[in-house]
Structure 1
Amino acid sequence: MTEINQIDLQALAERLSLTYFKMPFQHQVRFNSRLRSTGGRVVFPRRGSRILEAEIYMEVNPKLSNEQLPGIIKHELAHYMIYLQKGLHHENDRDFQRLLVKVAAPKYSPLVSVHKSAYLYRCQGTQHHEFKRSRKVDIRRMRCGIDGSRLMLVSEYHAK
């Protein structure tokens, strides 16, 4: 978990923007605790098909460590700088990938997506089809989608 506050986060983003991209980032940067597996994102609000330039902002995951934070901010700033040059783009865009290498920003988030639960069901028909689910299923109501027989919970796993 990062230990910097909102003001220091804003200052860090502005400093990295000037240092690595030679352009100011004059939009808001904030923490978003709802982000799970992604390190951050730049949000381009729209009204119809038009992007509202004045309302662009960056969100950063507060679960990142202080060592990971500059890399993620550089990655998101690269998205913003490519947007200024070319407009909206994709992660695998060649110019974006080159810019990541140039500023030594990570391609992927260091955070790992963790599934909290996993359930394994087996149908009680002759074929014994198996189904993995992330959510629990009501076996009194649900049936096997292949042969229509009843389901049985075989195992469940809960991650912390």
Structure 2
Amino acid sequence: MDNIKLQELVETISITFFQKPFKHQAMFNPRLRSTGGRYLLGSHNIEVNKKYYELFGEKEIIGIIKHELCHYHLHIEGKGYLHRDSDFKQLLKKVDAPRFCTPLPNQKKKKTIKKIIVYACHNCSQVYKRKRAINTDKYVCGVCKGKLKRVKVLTEG
């Protein structure tokens, strides 16, 4: 599918599901990474991620186009076009458009390793757990003003 076929598909979906014409440009944007498509407020154009067509086929692209057309038509009519607006949610249901697109296979959430640094006071043995390292020359114990020492680093995966 190329940009000309995509434009025709968007125009057809707009008339079929919304009974309104799509008068702007629809195109594939190869730079899109984390989203299936986007509606541009300034130009009223719609950009679609071609990877979704290549991986999931035309059915997924149709869902993305319906979603973006919801933004498009509501914005032009001056109604609530944002994801949180009730107008947007109602129109999504009416045209059976997905709220979110299927995640791409390489976009699975990566586990972040949490690092906790444990400090203890020389004098009173007060323990401090911190996510970020602190300068032990600058900071002292809040209980007795004693010198702090780094005890260990805990990692959680």
The reply to whether TM is greater than 0.5 is yes
3-state DSSP of counterpart to 1:118 = coil
3-state DSSP of counterpart to 1:68 = helix
String of CA shifts for 1:67-101, please: whole Å, max 9, x gaps: 21101100110111111222563212222211111
Question: How do 1:27-106 and structure 2 match up within 5 A?
Answer: 27-45=24-42, 55-64=43-52, 65-66=56-57, 67-87=59-79, 89-106=81-98
Q: Quote the Cα distance in structure 2 between the aligned partners of 1:16 and 1:149.
A: 66
- Indicate the structure with greater helix content: 2
Q: 1:9 aligns with which of 6, 10, 19?
A: 6
What letter corresponds to residue 22 of structure 1 in structure 2?
Answer: Q
Aligned length: 134
TM-score normalised according to structure 1 size = 0.67
Unaligned runs of 5+ in 1: 46-54, 132-141
Higher relative contact order (CA 8 A, sep 6+): 1
Partner of 2:133: 143
Q: 1:152 to 1:21 in 2, by over 3 A?
A: same
Q: Quote the Cα distance in structure 2 between the aligned partners of 1:35 and 1:130.
A: 37
Deviation, structure 1 residue 125: 1.3
Q: Which has the larger Rg? A: 2
Q: 1:32 to 1:101 in 2, by over 3 A?
A: same
3-state DSSP of counterpart to 2:87 = helix
Cα pair 1:143 1:149 within 8 Å, conserved:
no
Cα pair 2:79 2:87 within 8 Å, conserved:
no
- What RMSD over aligned residues (CA atoms) do the two structures have, in Å? 3.0
Structure 1 runs, 4 residues or longer, greater than 4 Å off = 144-153
* Mean Cα deviation higher: 7-16 or 113-122: 113-122
TM-score normalised according to structure 2 size = 0.69
